[in-house]
Chains A and B, each alone.
Chain A
Amino acid sequence: MMPAIFVLDVEEFSPIVRDARAMGGVAVSGPHAGYFRISSDKELSFNRKSLGFKPAVWYGALTGGMVGRIEEFSRDTLRIVGDAP
Chain B
Amino acid sequence: MDKSSTRLPLHGVHHTARPTWKLKETVEFYRDKLGLPLVHAISARGWGPADHADFLHFFFDSGNGSTIAFFYYIGTERPEYLATRDDYRYRATHTAWQVQKLEDLDVWRKHLIEAGIPLRYETRHEIIESLYFEDPNGYSVEITCQLRPMTSVDARDAELTMAAAIELESKGAAFANIDAVWRRKGALLEAEIGGRA
Contacts and interface: CB of A to CB of B under 8 A. Distances in A.
Contact of B183 (A10, A55, A69): A69
Interface stretch (B109-117, B135-143, B185-193): B185-193
A69 B157 contact: no
B124 A8 contact: no
Interface string A53-78: 01111001011111111100000000
B185 A57 contact: no
Given A29-B197, A67-B187, A10 B153 contact: yes
Given A30-B193, A34-B157, A65 B188 contact: yes
A5 B156 CA distance: 17
Interface in B148-197: 148, 151, 153-154, 156-157, 160-161, 164, 179, 182-190, 192-194, 196-197
Interface string A28-47: 01101111010100000000
B182 A62 contact: yes
A64 B179 contact: no
A32 B156 CA distance: 13
Contact of A65 (B125, B153, B185): B185
Contacts of A32: 193, 196
B96 interface: no
Contact of B186 (A6, A11, A13): A6
Contact of B189 (A65, A68, A69): A65
B126 interface: yes
B93 interface: no
Contacts of A34: 153, 156-157
A54 B153 contact: no
Contacts of B193: 6, 30, 32-33, 35, 37
Nearest to B126: A12
A29 B164 CA distance: 23
- Among A8, A13, A69, the one with the most B-chain Cβ atoms within 10 Å of its Cβ is A8
A23 interface: no
Interface of A: 4-6, 8-13, 27, 29-30, 32-35, 37, 39, 54-57, 60, 62-70
8 contacts: A5-B186, A11-B147, A12-B126, A32-B196, A33-B193, A37-B194, A54-B123, A67-B190
Given A65-B189, A67-B194, 7 more contacts: A10-B148, A30-B193, A30-B197, A35-B193, A56-B124, A65-B190, A66-B182
